């Protein structure tokens, strides 16, 4: 059976996903993430870390969204059918927070992008990339 994902569905899922990080409130994550979700984090370079399944992806994102020393702001969200691209800026409130999250050498902020896929109203893929120092 094939399913269709409308841009409106993808946009709504991305809005809710971004709100998790903007508001530091991961409560909606389990509802947004598919059982078979695959997420690749931005670190360590060069390939990041691969997380498979809802539990692992939700655990990673919950820790990130709950971190009071990191604030994420989406600067642009591009929707194309079942795909979304989120350009974002992460700002760190403590001197070592950037290095802890994104690796050595960052300053008080980092720019990044997530390439996302949505199926049946849930996130199935998330690939994260950042600028390197």
Domain presence at residue 39: yes
Q: Is 1 part of any domain? A: no
**Would 61 be classed as within a structural domain?**
yes
Range of the domain at 58: 7-130
Residue 2 lies in a domain: no
For the stretch 86-132, pLDDT in tens is 999 999 887 665 566 555 655 788 899 999 999 999 999 999 999 87
Strands 33-40 and 122-130: parallel
Omega of the bond leading into 7 within 30 degrees of 0 (cis):
no
Number of domains observed in the structure of the chain: 1
With respect to residue 17, please indicate whether it lies within any of the assigned structural domains: yes
Three-class SS string for 54-71?
Answer: HHHHHHHHHHHHHCCCEE
Which CATH number fits the domain that encloses residue 81?
A: 3.10.450.50
- Phi, psi at residue 99, to the nearest 5°? -65, -35
Which candidate, 7, 8, 5, places its Cα nearest to that of 34? 5
pTM above 0.85, yes or no: yes
């Amino acid at each position: 059976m094939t399913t269709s994902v409308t841009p409106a569905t993808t946009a709504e899922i991305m809005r809710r996903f971004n709100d998790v990080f903007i508001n530091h409130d991961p409560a909606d994550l389990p509802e947004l993430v598919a059982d078979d979700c695959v997420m690749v984090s931005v670190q360590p370079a060069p390939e990041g870390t691969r997380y498979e399944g809802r539990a692992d992806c939700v655990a990673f994102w919950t820790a990130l969204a709950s971190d009071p020393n990191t604030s994420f702001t989406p600067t642009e969200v591009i929707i194309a059918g079942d795909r979304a691209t989120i350009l974002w800026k992460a700002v760190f409130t403590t001197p070592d927070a950037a290095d802890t999250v994104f690796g050595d050498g960052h300053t008080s902020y980092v720019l990044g992008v997530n390439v996302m896929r949505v199926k049946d109203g849930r996130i199935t893929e998330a690939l994260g990339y950042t600028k390197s120092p």
